[in-house]
Amino acid sequence: MNTEKKRGTAMAGSIKEFFKQRDYYEIRLESIGGLGANLCAKMVGELAVKYLNLNSAGFSSYGSEKTGTPVKGYIRFCLPEQEIRVHSPIVSPDLLVIFHQALMRDKKTWAGCGPQTQVIIALDRGQEEMMGNLPETIGECYMVDARQIAMETKSRINVVMLGAMAKVMGFIELDRARQICKDSLGRKYPAALEGNLKGLEQGYEKVRQLSKEEIAIFKSRVNEENASNISDKEQEWGYATAPIGGVNPQFGSTVTADLSPSRQGYLPVFIKERCINCGLCDSTCPDMVFQFAEGEFKGRKMMVNRGLDYYHCKGCMRCVDVCPVNALVRGAEAEHADKQYFLPNQDMLRAPDYYVKTGPDGYITSESYLTEKRIEGGEV
């Protein structure tokens, strides 16, 4: 008990020393819906209040359909004697956490980052060339193969990143991170707690800092055509550089959205020989990825399952759960780079102007579209 008290006192002293140089400690999470950044932000904020005796405030920003779309999380810490009076998005973070390497190509991900900014990136093994997109303005850079760790420990990417954040921040002990994980997940998902605790510990242990020499090597490997070449000027968003207010210059719908980055390392593998074309997979799929076309099955003409469009598949595995003949099985995405039943999205997607005159729904199968085609005398 005395040892615990001494450790708590030492930690409290180090936190006060840490906040002598700043009013707030600000964290920004950059993620893709489905990776759990929203819950991660809540857990970090709750940890600060319950176990570090800090004031904390945070919120997340996302659209109505989170999965596959950009998600941002904002967290602020300060000492208990100070009130948090700022509740706006974090412009210049002390810690930037990137949950998916694809976001590194977007210059808005790096907005406001400076020499004081520490960066943690969830980087898949074999994707190190993405590090060539790092801007010159950031401070320390860390990487962790969060997806692989999550698959090995049967956990989620967000708890792996929580462990990495605790290690990099320096004033959060692993035991405190374990406790908040138990508080948040233990009651709601008791069966998944053990795996998530392992994922948390692995994230804490395996996150590593990149040296300037390593970053220089990565940058030298990047093709100039693919590099972001982000300059300080490009990071500044103001009245002269921001998009026109209230107008989305890239109109479209979920038909044109790539949901594949939100997968957690697994995808449904389609075994055509087992399929009985019952259509249960198509009925349960939230994103209509199954492609049925006229064909023949056991001597009868019927709608036959051609396979999945993995471009829109977010890996929820509902189809695997409902398939009565195991024609859909759970598979590691890394083992299925060349997907036999992958349907190229360009074969199904139309040019953007195809969606312009389809009525108020703006979707090709809407009732307004069918009505419009009938009026015009076209085929439906």
C-alpha closest to that of 101 among 243, 320, 251, 260: 260
- Encode pLDDT of 118-175 as tens digits: 999 998 877 777 777 788 788 899 999 998 898 889 888 999 999 999 999 988 899 9
d(CA 281, CA 272): 13
CA atoms within 13 A on the CB side of 239: 0
User: Is beta strand 290-297 parallel, antiparallel or unpaired with respect to 118-122?
Assistant: unpaired
Decide which of 343 and 233 is more confident: 343
CA atoms within 13 A on the CB side of 55: 13
3-class secondary structure for 195-245? HHHHHHHHHHHHCEECCHHHHHHHHHHCCCCCCCCCCHHHHCCCCCCCCCC
User: Is beta strand 95-98 parallel, antiparallel or unpaired with respect to 70-78?
Assistant: unpaired
Domain residue limits, the chain: 19-235, 256-349, 353-380
Q: Is the pLDDT of residue 366 over 80?
A: no
pLDDT class for 5, splitting at 50, 70, 90? very low
- Encode pLDDT of 288-328 as tens digits: 888 888 899 989 999 999 888 887 888 888 999 999 999 99
Helix (H) or strand (E) holding 266: strand 266-270
Q: Is the pLDDT of residue 56 over 90?
A: yes
Decide which of 18 and 213 is more confident: 213
d(CA 131, CA 210): 10
Tokens representing residue 174 in the block: 């692993």
The one-character DSSP state at 278 is -
Decide which of 379 and 238 is more confident: 238
- Encode pLDDT of 12-21 as tens digits: 546 777 776 7
- Fold classification of 256-349 (topology level): Alpha-Beta Plaits (3.30.70)
What CATH number does the domain located at 19-235 have? Answer: 3.40.920.10
